[in-house]
Amino acid sequence: MKKISGQTAWGKWAAAFLALVAVFFLSVQVGQAASATKIVLDDREVTGARDVLTVKGTTMVPIRVISEELGYAVGWNPSSRQVTVGPSGDRLTLTLGSRAADSPQGPITLEQAPFSQSSTTYVPLRFVGTEMGLKVKWDNGAKTVFLTSPPALEQPGGTGPNDDVDPPAEVPGGTPTTSASVEQVSFSENRLMISTSGNVTPKVSAVASPNRIVIDLPDTSFSPVFAEAQGLLVGQQGSIAAVGSADVTGIRFALNNDSPMRVRVVIDLNKAKSYETYREGNLIFVDLNRQSGPSTPGVGDDGKKIVVIDAGHGGSATGAIYAGGPTLMEKDVNLDMALKVEALLKQVDGLDVVMTRSDDTAVSLQGRVDIAESLNADIMVSIHANSMPKGTKPTSGTETLYTKPESKQLAETIHKHLIAATGLPDRKAKYQNLHVDRESNLPTALVETGFLYAGGDVDKITDPAWQNRVAEAIAAGIEEYLGL
């Protein structure tokens, strides 16, 4: 995470408003939405953005979308309906429904009060620019808001931008700073994966009555994105499911208020089970498939290729939402498809598969990249369903996206199989400025299987037979690209 200073500090805290979306709704008199409005952040169109709104002549932008792209912390006081953004002593405070805000530089008067509508929190466009350090440009002809992040600054004495790393931000509830943080906990293939930032040495032990494996991470806290998505305060416990495991009944985790802080992760077992713990970069694995011993192969050993399957969105980042019948969220559609692809690839000899998430948890965009790079993966494939802004002409089709030139062949190979399976209009394999490809050092493709909205491809997307064909096509494209 690059460090920025001075007035630009508000830009790095934009994502902290994620918690607002799921908690508050405030009705206001809203003007007509701009037709087919787009938001472009750092030369990349923000997918899934709702329309920009106007309130009494003031342009209001969805802070939730901006925050998901930047990924930082927030505090919330339910009794006062106040949101705090930033670390203690250097904090911005806003109140839903109020134009008054407080900053370290003194009181601020907003053009219009922050509000929530259709599960999206809006703030004045000018506020985004002046208080969050983003350069803002409104192109009325193109109906597009252009937002540009400030450049990262080097810390005195540093040798480059990568030396400029922020300490872990506060977890809701006022957690002290620690030397490492948990970014993600996931479970697949009878293997627990913990993604961390910072250096941490796990202490792992087996415990009986009841049978469980306990992983302690000293001097460690939850990252803001992970804590907010799980709704965790100090001492509270979260959990994820262990789908498909005959040995594990569940995984739970909590932040213990020790000195220093300590994250504990527990694998609950239905019987005693051998395991091995090993590391791949910043990833900690507790593998129940392995017997202890130095000769046991790890992820990617024995010449196996490593494929990372990324289910787009997750947690509070729902992605596109279809409300034409039973509510259908893109994050769930993506995960279902990703699990189908994983199951198929697990049957392929010479291949190891790792999921960036295996249940409904949030993973930052950079966190997805970090998982793939910690594994030194051969490729990463991110799975999505497409969305369209309100008021646009109904659109149908399948597309596969890439950013780096070295990712083009991967995208084209997968797309060749994909378009034959979906039966939808061919929107091609094509360039788009994607964080997961741009910021990674491995070929990465992002699949948009179809359009998840009324008038789009929802009938196909919800058809189990279609889902199976598409999963088989994605897996076939991966196998062909890797020469398996």
Residue 444: beta bridge partners?
380
Are 300 and 376 within 8 A, CB to CB? yes
Neighbours of 3 (CB within 10 A): 18
Are 444 and 313 within 8 A, CB to CB? no
- pLDDT category at 331 given cuts 50, 70, 90 is very high
Does the pLDDT of residue 83 top 80, yes or no? no
Q: In angstroms, rounded to a whole number, what is the distance separating the alpha carbons of residues 245 and 454?
A: 36
Are 266 and 207 within 8 A, CB to CB? no
Phi then psi dihedrals of residue 144, to 5 deg:
-135, 135
User: Which has the closest alpha carbon to 221: 285, 295, 154, 167?
Assistant: 167
Strand order in the sheet with 44-45: 44-45, 38-41, 144-148, 135-139
pLDDT in tens, 88-102: 555 677 788 888 887
Does the pLDDT of residue 189 top 90, yes or no? no
Measured CA distances, 266 to 47, 69, 212, 371 (Å)? 36, 31, 7, 21
Q: What value does the mean pLDDT of the chain take?
A: 76
Residue 209: beta bridge partners?
none
- Interior angle at CA 220, CA 370 and CA 372, nearest 5: 10
Are 314 and 364 within 8 A, CB to CB? no
Does the pLDDT of residue 190 top 50, yes or no? yes
Are 71 and 164 within 8 A, CB to CB? no
- pLDDT category at 342 given cuts 50, 70, 90 is very high
Measured CA distances, 16 to 64, 172, 224, 314 (Å)? 9, 10, 8, 16
Tokens 């203690």 sit at which residue? Answer: 88
The SS3 of residue 317 is strand
Q: In angstroms, rounded to a whole number, what is the distance separating the alpha carbons of residues 343 and 365?
A: 24
- Interior angle at CA 285, CA 284 and CA 288, nearest 5: 160
Q: Which two tokens stand for residue 132?
A: 């969050």
Does the pLDDT of residue 169 top 50, yes or no? no
pTM for the structure as a whole: 0.59
% of the chain surpassing 90 pLDDT: 32
Q: In angstroms, rounded to a whole number, what is the distance separating the alpha carbons of residues 465 and 484?
A: 25
Mutual angle of helices 464-482 and 330-345, in 10-degree steps: 50
Greatest mean pLDDT among 67-76, 106-115, 337-346, 447-456: 337-346
Strand order in the sheet with 262-269: 203-207, 212-218, 262-269, 248-256, 237-240
pLDDT in tens, 344-366: 999 999 999 999 988 888 888 88
In this structure, the chain runs to a length of 484
Q: Which two tokens stand for residue 84?
A: 């705090």
